[in-house]
Every structure is written in structure tokens, then in C-alpha cells.
Structure 1
Amino acid sequence: MATTRQQRPTEADIWSRLDAVTDPEIPVISVVDLGIVRAVAWDDDELTVVITPTYSGCPAIRVIEDSIGDAIRDLGVENFRLETRLSPAWTTDWLSERGRERLRDYGIAPPACSAAQVVDISRIMNRRHRAIACPHCGATATEPVSQFGSTPCKALYRCQACLEPFDYFKEH
């Protein structure tokens, strides 16, 4: 059943519903706060939702697409398409402030700088010398344990103050 113009949800309704779709790997952050959902727009009676995965090989993208589709159908929209755009590539700069707070509250340190700052090769090579604040106690006396954490987009760190390990969401 196609949605008519009179009964179709507004773009604000759609954004609100998509804000309830959580990332399957980090369930405290929505796909909107993560910056995966880039745009929603009606073209006559068809809704287009533009998404950009956090990286092109993201293993969770199919689950995310299914969850977005379910959320759109829950609004009564049957005529829609998901458009995946890989360019521009997703960047941690697209994380919302609310998303950064939710990561921190969940025990994951959000990116410490913008992705543009990482372009400086000396910063990349000396990443271990940057202060990454512990999401548990706030101390900046932390050290990298592994460049890869629970997912490829995170690194594993340990706090030297509270001794707790934590994931750091790498900027890119």
C-alpha cells in the first residue's frame, strides 16, 4: 500500500523515528547520532534515505539497513529506498555531541580530535602520546594496549589511574 501525501510522515517525523534506531555494535547510540543517516527526502510518493556506513566493509551495515527499513515501515511508508553513498567517506566528525556523550557514558572514549587533524602524519605516528581521557574516571593518564578494540573502528586503551580498560573510538 503506497503512502499518500496526506498521510505520509513529515521529514521531521522520519528523522525522529530513525533517531530511535540504534547501532547494533554500540546500542547506546543511534544511527542518526553516529552520522550514518545523511539525508531523508520525499520525491513524489517515494522516500529516499541516504546512509553512509562508518567504513565500506562494516559488518553491521546489513543489520542497520534492515533496522532502518523496519523503522520506515513502522511509520506506514512502504515506498522507500535506501541509498548508500560511500563518498564523501564517513568521518568521526559526523558524530553528534549527544552521540559523543552517549559513547562516554557507555564507557567508550569518543574521538579526541577532528578527522582533519589526523591528516598530519606526525599526529598519526604519535597517537599514543596524545591524552585520551578515560571515560570511567576522566583521567588523561592513559595508554594504548592495542590499535584494535572490540571493533575495527576502536582501539583498546587502559587508564593508569583507575586501571580500567576501555575502547577509544578512533578518529577517521
Structure 2
Amino acid sequence: MQPGELITSDQGARPGSSADIAEAWAVLAEVMDPEVPVVSVVDLGIVREVGWQQGHVHLVVTPTYSGCPATEVIEDDIRQALEQAGFAAPMLERRLDPAWNTDLITEQGRERLRAYGIAPPVGSSNKRSLLGETEAICCPQCSSSNTELLSQFGSTACKALYRCRDCLEPFDYFKCI
């Protein structure tokens, strides 16, 4: 090494374009949630922003809740998918404010949940349930609203366990938060 030579590199930094941003969104649409592998991180609304900073793709990611055990796995999956698509050293920023809520789940995400057998969130995250108001939770198998709550917690903390009184199938309900 000669005096004045760079010891580190720019790790693949380059000018970005709107096509790069669109490609990054397309890659992210294929990164599935590890707990519900039919919905992408885009469907869930946890990827809040995609941009270009300092020569690299930059993402703002908001976990479904601050204690979500899958947060690091999701971030690693995102980073790996972007790197495999040719984005050198993607920059991920975990942002907790504003908090994620179920209103951010896309219509496509809600349909994918339903098709997978998980009832998507009903209504809005406006917390009406704290006032005793509840909405009918429809069975994702037969669409019946004749359902009952079995447990406030289903396969994960963000889901409740229900059963359909018509087809008798149990199912998870993705809670409004």
C-alpha cells in the first residue's frame, strides 16, 4: 500500500434512479413475512419508505410492534433479497414512530391472509374495541359471521384464535392494532 491509497471502499455506492427505486419495491414485494409466508413486507405495510442515500438504496422499516421476535429476521431477509438483486450494501433504518398499525396492510395483503386461512383485521385501528364495540369476525373458510373467540392469543401475539360455529373450523384472526 502506498501513502494516500484508500483503505476502505465505497461498498458499491453509485448514483440511483427512479428505476432503481421501482426495482427495489418489486424486490421487496417478494420478501415474505416469516410468520405468515403468504404476505410480503410490502403487503404488511412495514416498509414505509424506499429511497436513495449516499449511493445506496435506503429503506425505512417499521416492525409490527417493537417487541416482534421476527424483526431481525425480516430485516436480514430484506437485506439479502436486495443484495441478491444487485443493490450493494442496502441501508435499513428501523423507525418506531409513527407506530405500525393494521390500517397499513394492503388490500392484496388482506386477501392473501384470507386465502391462507387467517381472518384479516376488521375495521380500523381506531381502538373502538376499548369502548366495548366489536365487529363481526368472518370465517376465512366459509365467510360466516357466526364465529366465537376462543383465545385472545393465537399462533402469535398479534393474532387471536377464533372458531366458526357453522363450519366448526378454528382460525387465526389478525388483530387490529
TM-score by length of 1: 0.91
Tell whether 2:126 aligns with 1:121. no
SS of alignment partner, residue 27 of structure 2: helix
Task: Tell me which structure has the larger Cα radius of gyration.
Answer: 2
Tell whether 2:174 aligns with 1:169. yes
Tell me the matched-pair count: 167
CA distance in 1, matches of 2:118, 2:75: 24
Q: 1:158 aligns with which of 127, 140, 163?
A: 163
- 1:90/1:5 CA distance change after superposition, 3 Å: same
> Is this contact kept in 2: 1:48–1:82, CA < 8 A?
yes
Aligned counterpart, 2:111: 101
Offset, 1:74: 1.2
- 1:103/1:120 CA distance change after superposition, 3 Å: closer
CA distance in 2, matches of 1:44, 1:81: 10
- 1:148/1:67 CA distance change after superposition, 3 Å: same
CA distance in 2, matches of 1:11, 1:111: 29
What runs of 5+ residues in structure 1 fail to find an aligned partner?
A: none
> Is this contact kept in 1: 2:16–2:55, CA < 8 A?
no
Instruction: Tell me the alpha carbon deviations over residues 7-55 of structure 1, each in whole angstroms, 9 at most, x when there is no partner.
Output: 9961000000000000000000000000111111102402211100000
Aligned counterpart, 1:135: 140
Counterpart amino acid of residue 167 in structure 2: C
> Is this contact kept in 1: 2:16–2:52, CA < 8 A?
no
> Is this contact kept in 2: 1:8–1:76, CA < 8 A?
no
Aligned counterpart, 1:39: 49
CA distance in 2, matches of 1:65, 1:79: 13
CA distance in 1, matches of 2:16, 2:50: 18
> Is this contact kept in 2: 1:3–1:77, CA < 8 A?
no
Tell whether 2:96 aligns with 1:91. no
Aligned counterpart, 2:3: none
CA distance in 2, matches of 1:31, 1:160: 32
What runs of 5+ residues in structure 2 fail to find an aligned partner?
A: 1-10
CA distance in 2, matches of 1:35, 1:61: 13
Aligned counterpart, 2:6: none
Instruction: Tell me the alpha carbon deviations over residues 72-129 of structure 1, each in whole angstroms, 9 at most, x when there is no partner.
Output: 101212232110000111000000000000000000000111001x246223xx54xx
Aligned counterpart, 2:69: 59
Q: Percent identity?
A: 53
